[in-house]
Structure 1
Amino acid sequence: MAMASAGTVFFPPLLTDPSSPVADPQNLQFQHITNGKFEPLKWCTSLPEIRQVQGQCTKHGLMEDPRILAKFVVKYSGMCSHESMESARKAFEIYKHRRDDFCSTAYLYNSLIRGSSSAGAFAEAILVYIDMLMEGVAPDNYTFPFVLSACAKGLMHFEGEQIHGTLLKLGFRNDVFVMNSLVYFYGEFGEIDLARKVFDEMPLRNVVSWTSLICGYARRDRHKEAVSLFSEMVDEGIEPNEVTLVSVISSCAKLGDLDLGQRVLDRVGHGESSSINGFVVNALVDMYMKCGAEAIARRIFDRCLVKNLVHYNTILSNYVKLGKVKEAGDVLREMLGLGLKPDRVTVLSIVALSAETGDVCFGMQSHGYVVRNGLESWESIGNSLIDMYSKCGHQLWACRVFDRMANKSVVSWNSLLTGFSGNGDVESARRLFYRMPERDIVTWNAMIGAFVHHGFFSDAVELFRSMQSEGIVADEATMVSIAAACGYLGALNLATWIHNYIKKYGIRRNVRLDTALVDMFARCGAPKSAMEVFRSMTERDVSAWTAAIRATAVDGNGEHAADLFDEMVREGTRPDEVAFSAALTACSDAGLVERGMNIFDAMQEHGITPHIVHYGCALDLLGRAGLLEEALDFISAMPMEPNGAIWAAFFSACRAHKNEEIAARAAAMAIDTSANIGTGILIKHMRAPSARK
């Protein structure tokens, strides 16, 4: 087993490599005592092997040598596990009592700090640092990056600030390695302005300095600043690395700005080259997909010489989000054909694809894969399955998935509640709401939204009041639903209170919320208040303009409504079908025949084909004005068959203007051309004028 002589120690071989010093006992003579080398540890790759060597050293008295102890401290620390760090600390304690010149051991402290941090023992890393200071060991430029990293990962902000002060006092202000770690530290805590202050005060910067700050901006969704800083970096002649590129490309993706992304790539000479690093390829594919340039994204993806599961997950998830079902299916088949095994990220995309298509059979197959591969424990997968079954109309299966989940978070409960609402089962959603062990703002919004969507407006307002009594502050999504409920109830006092509530609590105003407020005041008969909200909006989309047009029309001012429509077009907002319908209705109510017909004719100019509802509005416009001949010609020229609503509107106009002759002609025309029009409708509307004579 073990053999000892005066100058030789034999260790059982740990490796089969014949060139290993461990395999030759003659290599283990006590040369380690004179030159500091200890080859056996060099060949250890696991914790049991290190312990085996330590056992032999202890047996032969080698652990008395501080240099050997130091080797074990470093080796154990490098394994970065809780178990190995315990062994490292024990070896270090022995070392401290054996070493006379203890103040020269900063390297060992650094190893312990780094190992503890890597093992997730962040508080322990800080304690090692404190022990270092108490023992009088001076930190060096490796100590501070290691300990600041532990502070950032362990969310120990106060300790990090103290270390910041210490390193400045010790004169490390000009050390780029140390200052980079400070930029990273403040960036991780979201204190980007402090990170920028440290960055600006650095006399020397390298690519890591710039990248740390760029990543900090990107993580806090300050993407424009991240891209701007990248431009500064390139202007100063600093060559970006892969991490820089991935971060700034991702920022362009989040902004959805293809031109900006292209300019970034042009500045560094990257395009669609097949030689781009795999991480950068992944970021590029994601950016082009999110910016709507799917063809370029696919071309880069196809040109990538070595594609892995991450690449496939990126393009697959983007296709699913864009609703590109066929393309997503093609990518999935290609991935499986290469023998790549789907992971949980893939499964999330596949389940979402099933929900998008309503293909419950494919969804069930995906569910089977989840069960067979032990992925059920992932809460996100369980939530996605609940969502999929709900969207496919299989609420019972959604409930079964929910019941089988070992760990149900509030997101899981919210998913099930939303499923009940989406399938029209408001009562089950209500019961589930009151059963929930905890609720967040999403829960309240989902339940209030369910009430509003299904017409339970008073219930929605009552639940909002309960939410207030529990001290929960609403957000913009809550107020959009409540504004809609209030509008349908026509409660002006409540509408005014809601508007004041938003101001009082500083709820973030966005286009969606402001549009809901405009619509709310209009429905409550307060068009002036509606227009005040509209004019205060800093950003308006077509829905906002449409709400304002309707609000003005409610006030009986069709001319102003038409003016608003023209103003919208002048400001570059492209009208949609709903906006045209609102403008035509306003013109009809105000008797603005010429202006209304001009708006109708402009639909084709904006690339919109009129639907039956638009023809109905135009017909109503002509009919109210008594232009019955023109109205009948208009019906004859319609590209689709007039429905009952069209004929009813025309006969109502004939009745209003007491014109039986045209009504009779229209009736004959309706019978000849519209087999689907009921005779009851014709008789009712034809007889109405004569009945009043």
Structure 2
Amino acid sequence: MYVACGSIEDAEKVFDKMPVRSVYPWNALLRGNVVLGGRKYREVLGTFSDMRGLGVDLNVYSFSCLIKSFAGASALFQGLKTHGLLIKNGFLGSDIIRTSLIDMYFKCGKVRLAYRVFEEVEERDVVMWGAMIAGFAHNKLQREALEYTRLMIKEGLEVNSVILTTILPVIGEAWASKLGKEVHAYVIKTKEYSKQLFIQSGLVDMYSKCGDIVSGRKVFYGSKERNAISWTALISGYILNGRLEQALRSIVWMQQEGFKPDLVTVATVLPVCGKLKVLKQGKEIHAYAVKNDFLPNASVSTCLMMMYSKCGLLQYSSRVFDSMEKRNVISWTAMMDSYIDSGCLEEALGVFRSMQLSKHRADSVAMGRISSVCGKLRLLKLGREIHGQILKKDLASVPFVSAELVKMYGSCGAIDKSRFCFDAIPVKGSLTWTAIVEAYGLSGQYGEAINKFKQMISKVISFTVLRHRKLKESPHEGKGKQVISESIDFSLLGEAWKPVSMGYKRRWWDCIALPDDVDGSDEASFRMQIKELAFMSLQLLKAAIFDEECKPLFSLEIYGNIIGMFELNNLDLVVESPVEDYFLYMDDLPLSEKGEAEQTTKPILDALGDDYSICCQGIL
């Protein structure tokens, strides 16, 4: 009872007075510490050690609580040792233990280990499938989460309310609106779920993330019951879709219906006040937060700081920060951001130094922010020290951090260091490519900046083609096949087609500088590869431009660039096969290169059949 009420101290008093203690009260104590979380995770390990020392007969629930504490604390090493202990004691056959292990490995970021535990189970229940789906969602592997949901249904298991609330945000993040409507239909068909408020809120959130706020509103206003959570979901939807004024009005309508905005609602709507610079409403919400005792909460205080900063009242941000009893790394970073946005870079540097002296340690966001400050102030020595801390904390692999380092060295005139950081990044996305282009520009090397931009174009096209192939070729059938997605950034897709649509026409790839790792004697081969990427990207576009599932990849601007590219090259946008376009490009090739080009096209022609081969040979 005391554990369920969150009073662990009273529970411990009752426990200490017990003359005989079986495994059950011990497990209750373990569970209480797990539920409370935070620093209590350490006490779980201490309690478990006491149980082993006193010779208590441990059961699966004892180990389950222990593993859950490791999952909450991301204590991978302790979890691995416990996994070994489970094997030694013969507890690994329990579904409860295996599900807990899957959850722990996912929360520690070890997807492959979780997958391995899952694959060792012959008969899986819906709880274990739910742990896998939730784990993929936790690690931002949306495609895998949806794929495993499909496989679970194929095995004859029904989706329950827990899995529904897990996959709805995933569908929104993947912009899979068609699938979202199918799930919505399933919810309506299953009357039990259609009445549950948290599922209704999940549907509103899903439609909002898919950009369909109209459908989200229909779900919200079609629901007979509402609460603060569903109102907050609608407000978040308005914000996601840029309807900021409507989001502010909704908080008034919410109160008119008799619902009080909770802590999450306040933290959601405060950034809107900052973006719209509506100081009056911001102060009213501040007063409401004080009245309802929300201010000890770090997230609300942090949002207040950012709101006042956006409204130009930096001194108010500073007051809120100084009045915070409990700060975290997010609040420290928010104070730094407030000074940076106001142009007070020296003060931002002072906040960072104070944070370093406190018990809080800078995370990747804070390191990225201070790197940008060093670049703007041209503090090369301090920038190198920050770089050393980033390497020590193993944060250099974070795209945002690595991009800021590249720009920082470029701003300080150390372009060689900037290039070194850039080359050390194994997977280069939009942030890092943009950073190196900007670094060359800041150092005055505009020609090299243009070359880097053109290299970036070819990379984006190649990544697009590779991902499209992965989507088309990955096995959707068969139990136990792991689906691995590549984290590729598509935010530069529009930029990739601009040079073509702006007049480079068919020879734009010849302008791309030869990379350092390509020998001069291999230049002809390199040029051919670049051309090949362009040809294959046409195939991608022809397949994707009319594909409903690919709609999120193509904005109106991207459509404009694609259409411009087709018009400049006299290509028919509605031709079903892209192979003709390939041969149109080949008209520009010298006779000596046409033989090699024919070898390149042969696999494509073989796949499409004789009719296309005859048609395309006629073009030559």
TM-score by length of 2: 0.66
The equivalent position to 1:511 in structure 2, one of 430, 434, 438, is 430
Which letter does structure 1 place at the counterpart of 2:421?
Y
The 1:293/1:395 distance shift into structure 2, 3 A limit, reads same
Q: Flag the 1:261–1:136 CA change in 2: closer, same or farther, 3 A.
A: same
8 Å Cα contact 2:165/2:199 also seen in 1:
yes
* Structure 2 partner of 1:467: 386
Deviation at 1:495, TM superposition (A): 3.8
Report the equivalent of 2:400.
477
Cα contact 2:103–2:131 (8 A) shared by 1: yes
Please tell me whether the aligned partners of residues 302 and 330 of structure 2 are also in contact (alpha carbons under 8 angstroms): yes
Match of 2:231 in 1: 312
Alignment of 1:113-512 (within 5 A): 113-115=30-32, 117-118=34-35, 122=41, 125-126=44-45, 129=48, 138-153=57-72, 157=76, 160-169=79-88, 171-265=90-184, 275-426=194-345, 429=348, 437=356, 441-443=364-366, 445-446=368-369, 449=372, 459=378, 464-465=383-384, 467-468=386-387, 476-477=399-400, 480=403, 494-504=414-424, 506=425, 508-512=427-431
| Equivalent residue number for residue 86 of structure 1 | 12
| 1:535–1:208 CA distance, 2 compared to 1 (3 A) | same
CA spacing shift, 1:460–1:302, aligned 2, 3 Å: farther
Hey, what's the Cα distance between the residues in 1 that align with 2:87 and 2:536? 58
Instruction: Name the amino acid aligned to 2:20.
Output: Y
Q: CA shift at 1:122, angstroms? A: 4.8
1:531-577: CA deviation from partner (whole Å, max 9, x where unpaired): 34432342542235558999989xx999969x99x999965777859
Cα distance 1:240–1:450, how it changes in 2: closer, same or farther (>3 A)?
same
1:271/1:437 CA distance change after superposition, 3 Å: same
Residues 546 and 273 (structure 1 numbering): CA distance in 2 closer, same or farther, change over 3 Å? farther
Q: Secondary structure at the match of 1:398?
A: helix
The answer (yes or no) to whether the contact 1:531–1:551 under 8 Å persists in 2 is no
Amino acid at match of 2:418: I
Aligned to 2:474: none
| Aligned match of 2:595 | none
Contact (CA 8 Å) 1:534, 1:548: kept in 2 or not?
Answer: no
Equivalents in 2 of 1:430, 1:122: separation in Å? 34
Are the structure 2 counterparts of residues 139 and 305 from structure 1 closer, same or farther at C-alpha, using a change threshold of 3 Å? same
Change (3 A) 1:429 1:267: same
- Aligned mates of 2:122, 2:195 — CA distance in 1: 33
Deviations 1:114-140 (A, max 9, x none): 455446655555555555556665444
One-letter amino acid matched to 1:95: V
Tell me which of 434, 443, 459 is aligned to 1:536: 459
CA contact (8 A) 1:274 1:304 kept: no
- Greater Cα offset, 282-291 or 434-443: 434-443
Distance 1:334 1:190 in 2: 41
Matching of residues 678-693 of structure 1 within 5 Å: none
Q: Give the CA RMSD over aligned residues.
A: 4.4
| Residue 354 of structure 1: how far off its partner (Å) | 0.9
Q: Distance in 1 between matches of 2:239 and 2:209?
A: 12
Tell me how far 1:142 sits from its aligned partner. Answer: 4.2
Partner deviation per Cα, 1:623-680 (whole Å, 9 max, x = no partner): xxxxxxxxxxxxxxxxxxxxxxxxxxxxxxxxxxxxxxxxxxxxxxxxxxxxxxxxxx
* Paired letter, 2:454: M
1:519/1:551 contact within 8 Å kept: no
Indicate conservation of the 8 Å contact 2:204/2:237, yes or no.
Answer: no
Would you say the 8 A contact 1:569–1:575 is kept in 2? no
Q: Percent same amino acid among aligned pairs?
A: 24
Alpha-carbon distance change, 267 to 202 in structure 1, aligned in 2, over 3 angstroms: farther
SS at match of 1:248: helix
Alpha-carbon separation, structure 2, partners of 1:238 and 1:420: 53
Kindly tell me: are residues 233 and 465 of structure 1, through their superposed partners in 2, closer, same or farther at Cα, counting changes over 3 Å? Answer: same
Cα pair distance change 1:274/1:495, threshold 3 Å: same
Please tell me the residue identity of whatever aligns with 1:543. E
Distance 1:112 1:405 in 2: 33
Q: CA deviation at 1:288?
A: 0.8
Confirm or deny: 8 A CA contact 2:402 2:432 kept in the other structure.
Answer: yes
Distance between the aligned counterparts of 2:430 and 2:177, measured in 1? 23
Instruction: Determine if contact 2:372/2:408 at 8 Å carries over to the other structure.
Output: no
Measured at CA, do residues 401 and 89 of structure 1 come closer, stay the same or move farther in structure 2, by a change above 3 Å? closer
Contact persistence 1:495–1:520 (CA under 8 A): yes
- Match of 2:194, SS? coil
Deviation readout 1:447-483 (Å, 9 max, x if unpaired)? 554687xxx5x72767644533666565543554566
Matched, 1:95 2:17: no
Q: CA deviation at 1:294?
A: 0.4
What are the ranges of 5 or more consecutive residues in structure 2 without an aligned counterpart? 465-491, 513-529, 546-553, 569-620
* Counterpart-to-counterpart distance in 2, 1:214 and 1:138: 33
Amino acid at match of 1:541: L
Does structure 2 conserve the Cα–Cα contact (< 8 Å) formed by 1:309 and 1:340?
yes
Structure 1 215/394 Cα, relative in aligned 2: closer, same or farther at 3 Å? Answer: same
**What is the DSSP-based 3-state SS (H/G/I as helix, E as strand, rest coil) of the residue aligned with 1:95?**
coil
Change (3 A) 1:468 1:568: same
Q: Specify every segment of 5 or more residues in structure 1 that has no aligned partner in the other structure, as ranges.
A: 1-74, 97-104, 584-594, 600-693
Aligned to 2:246, what secondary structure does the other structure show? helix
Residue in 2 that maps onto 1:525: 447
CA distance in structure 2 between the aligned counterparts of 1:224 and 1:558, rounded to whole angstroms: 33
SS in 1 for 2:258: coil
Q: Which deviations, in whole Å up to 9, do the C-alpha atoms of 1:37-90 show, x marking residues without a partner?
A: xxxxxxxxxxxxxxxxxxxxxxxxxxxxxxxxxxxxxx7777663333333433
Q: Which amino acid is the alignment partner of residue 317 of structure 1?
A: S
TM alignment of 1:9-24, pairs within 5 A: none
User: Deviation at 1:324?
Assistant: 0.6
Maintained 8 Å contact 1:399/1:416 = yes
3-state SS of the aligned residue for 1:525?
helix
Q: Partner amino acid for 1:83?
A: E
Residue in 2 that maps onto 1:626: none
CA distance in 1, matches of 2:220, 2:313: 36
Q: How far apart are 1:225 and its partner, in Å? A: 1.1
TM value normalised by structure 1: 0.60
CA–CA distance in structure 1, aligned partners of residues 355 and 242 of structure 2? 32
Higher-RCO chain (CA-CA 8 Å, sequence separation at least 6)? 2
How far did residue 301 of structure 1 move? Answer: 0.9
Corresponding pairs, count: 490
Larger Rg: 1
Per-residue deviation, 1:232: 0.8
CA distance in 1, matches of 2:366, 2:356: 11
